[in-house]
Amino acid sequence: MTTRELAETLNVSTDTITRAANRVLDPSAVVRRVINGGESRVFSEKQATLIKQEIQRHHNLASRQIDSAMTDIEENAVILHAYQILERRVQTYKQRAEVAECKLIEQQPKVEFFDAVAESKD
């Protein structure tokens, strides 16, 4: 993702991206490419996430698009967390079903006795 693409995604200026990148990234780790006759930085997803987090720390952007924009890394973390929650719920429901089945088996003789008494005419 280039500086301009990241700026557009986060709805901030390219200068804001550049300043944040300079604060959190090692300059030797940033890829530079010539795009449209000019040099541009190209950030990995991890680097873009670090830049976004840096901007959030240094600015009060609660009402801006940056808070709702997600990188793939952040999106994957949210999906993983949701999956873990669902797995816990599945286990809880399985345990509840096993308890209910045990109670049903335990109460079956009582149900049969009740049915026999209820159907009895004398």
Helix or strand holding residue 119 (H, E): helix 72-119
Same structural domain, 113 and 58: no
Q: Which of 51, 69, 87 is the last residue of a domain?
A: 69
- Tally Cβ neighbours within 10 Å of residue 43: 23
> Do 58 and 112 reside in the same domain of the chain?
no
58 and 19 share one domain: yes
Single out the residue in 49, 69, 89 at which a domain terminates: 69
pLDDT single digits (tens) 30-87 = 787 777 777 788 898 899 999 988 888 877 554 455 556 667 777 888 899 999 999 9
| Residues 86, 48 share a domain | no
Give the number of domains in the chain.
2
Q: Report the pLDDT value the prediction gives residue 110, as an integer from 0 to 100.
A: 93
Unique residue bearing structure tokens 């987090």: 53
Long-range Cβ contact pairs of 66-71 (< 8 A, separation 24 or more): 66/10, 66/11, 66/12, 69/9, 69/10, 69/11, 71/45
State the residue range of the domain holding 84.
74-122
- pTM to 2 decimals? 0.49
